[in-house]
């Protein structure tokens, strides 16, 4: 099988260059776009975290969010203090955030004199639900503080549904504006779908995991169904922060076939090879045929280690992933399993 048959993408979170600043931002984006073109990626972006603080900052930097003492804790014990909504979000629909990123990628490609598929990313509604102080949706610690913030935000958003109504309107406006600006792909980031044991405890009751997945899928579909599916991807993973993760015990049998109900043209990138589960995860995908109207993007390169995986290892993983789609390369897109968790405070310039 020739390498020209292998279709590629990536999650969109690339290592930030050192000393990134507003003054050298455009040049940095030109460089990262050139790198993606030179290595032959089929979809390119602007680095992901070059224009924003972290992958969650496209929306959580809107006025209305504040970082609090609530945090997520990964399997290595690292704490990530999170922004939560504490008052009405301020958003100007006439100044969409993603469209500016699309224009920057287009300028970089024009300088190279080449056309490529342009990808931008945005948080999925199910992830945004985690940022409203509701114990049923927010997997944060300390648990006893969630209700304190819930009382504070209720004067602005009496319920999580009120908050999500605003979230959905914003995300739909952002996605439409990005597509109108020339984006070929809008990837929705929903790592929450697979992160079941965020409290450090895994519940072996599959029905509870599947109920969480169904709830997330239904919420995301309320937005996805209003957009052209052929331009949509949705990413989920076990988490990546400081080369660690939030879910070390879950498997895809917790989430399949429910994941296949997402109204997108490309299911994934989904993390498969993360150094803990590896080849065993593919057996769950083999149990369910990929829907005819969808392609499957699987992460066959792990970014949770500084080790560079040998080409032969990647080749074996690709061949195994191809079996999931009955050997049809047109149904499979390959990618790294996650982003590099790059951010302004965790730049990861040398992964």
DSSP code per residue over 285-312: HHTSPPPTT-EEEEEEE--SSSSPPPHH
Q: Strand 79-85 and strand 65-73: pairing?
A: antiparallel
Task: Assess if residue 143 is contained within a domain.
Answer: no
Could you tell me where the beta strands, DSSP code E, fall in the chain?
7-8, 43-44, 65-73, 79-85, 117-123, 185-189, 232-236, 266-271, 295-301, 332-336
CA dihedral 284, 274, 294, 185 (to 10 degrees): 170
Domain assignment present for 71: no
- CATH code of 105's domain: 3.20.20.210
Asked whether the predicted pLDDT for residue 200 surpasses 50, the reply is: no
Q: Once rounded to an integer, what is the mean pLDDT over residues 246-255?
A: 87
Let me know if residue 275 belongs to a domain.
Answer: yes
Flag whether 208 is in a domain: yes
Report how far residue 176's alpha carbon sits from residue 96's, in angstroms, rounded to the nearest whole number: 9
Average pLDDT over residues 142-168: 96
Q: Alpha carbon of 325 to those of 51, 101, 236: distances in Å?
A: 36, 33, 19
DSSP category for residue 141? B
62 in a structural domain: no
Using an 8 Å Cβ cutoff, are 268 and 296 in contact? yes
Total-model pTM: 0.95
Over residues 257-302, the pLDDT tens digits come to: 999 999 999 999 999 998 888 889 999 999 999 999 999 999 999 8
pLDDT tens by residue, 13-59: 999 888 899 999 999 999 999 999 999 999 999 999 999 988 888 89
Domain encompassing residue 180: 3-57+90-127+160-336
160-174 average pLDDT score? 98
Asked whether the predicted pLDDT for residue 198 surpasses 70, the reply is: no
Q: Is 119 a member of any domain?
A: yes
Peptide bond into 56 cis (omega under 30): no
Q: Which residue has the tokens 């040049």?
A: 27
Per-residue confidence (pLDDT) for residue 179, from 0 to 100: 98
Q: How many domains does the chain have?
A: 1
d(CA 130, CA 138): 4
Confidence label for 202 from pLDDT (cuts 50, 70 and 90): low
Indicate whether 38 belongs to any domain: yes
Comparing CA positions, the residue from 187, 180, 189, 183 lying closest to residue 60 is: 189
Main-chain dihedrals φ then ψ at residue 250, nearest 5 degrees: -75, 165
In a domain, 30, yes or no: yes
């Amino acid at each position: 099988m020739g390498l020209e048959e292998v279709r590629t993408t990536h999650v969109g979170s690339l290592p930030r260059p050192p000393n990134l600043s507003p003054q050298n931002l455009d040049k940095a984006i030109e460089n990262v776009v050139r790198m993606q073109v030179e290595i032959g990626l089929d979809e390119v972006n602007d680095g992901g975290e070059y224009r924003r603080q972290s992958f969650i900052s496209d929306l959580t930097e809107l006025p209305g969010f504040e970082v609090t003492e609530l945090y997520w804790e990964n399997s290595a014990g690292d704490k990530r203090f999170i922004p939560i909504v504490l008052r009405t979000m301020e958003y100007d629909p006439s100044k969409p955030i993603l469209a500016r990123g699309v224009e920057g990628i287009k300028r970089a490609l024009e300088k190279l004199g080449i056309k490529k598929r342009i990808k931008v990313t945005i948080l999925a509604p199910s992830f945004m639900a985690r940022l409203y102080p509701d114990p049923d949706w927010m997997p944060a610690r300390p648990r006893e503080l969630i209700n304190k913030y819930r009382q504070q935000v209720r004067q602005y958003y009496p319920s999580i549904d009120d908050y999500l109504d605003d979230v959905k309107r914003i995300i739909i406006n952002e996605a439409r504006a990005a597509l109108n600006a020339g984006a070929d792909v809008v990837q929705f980031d929903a790592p929450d779908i697979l992160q079941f044991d965020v409290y450090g405890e895994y519940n072996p009751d599959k029905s509870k995991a599947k109920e969480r997945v169904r709830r997330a899928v239904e919420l995301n579909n309320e937005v996805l169904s209003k957009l052209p599916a052929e331009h949509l991807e949705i990413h989920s993973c076990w988490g990546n922060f400081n080369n660690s993760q939030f879910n070390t015990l879950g498997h895809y049998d917790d989430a399949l076939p429910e994941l296949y109900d997402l109204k997108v043209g490309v299911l994934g990138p989904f993390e498969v090879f993360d150094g803990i589960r590896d080849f065993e995860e593919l057996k769950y995908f083999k149990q369910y045929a990929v829907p005819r109207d969808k392609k499957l993007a699987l992460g066959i390169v792990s970014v949770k280690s500084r080790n560079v995986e040998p080409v032969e290892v990647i080749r074996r993983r690709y061949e195994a992933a191809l079996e999931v789609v009955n050997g049809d390369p047109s149904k499979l897109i390959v990618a790294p399993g996650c982003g590099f968790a790059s951010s302004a405070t965790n730049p990861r310039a040398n992964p």
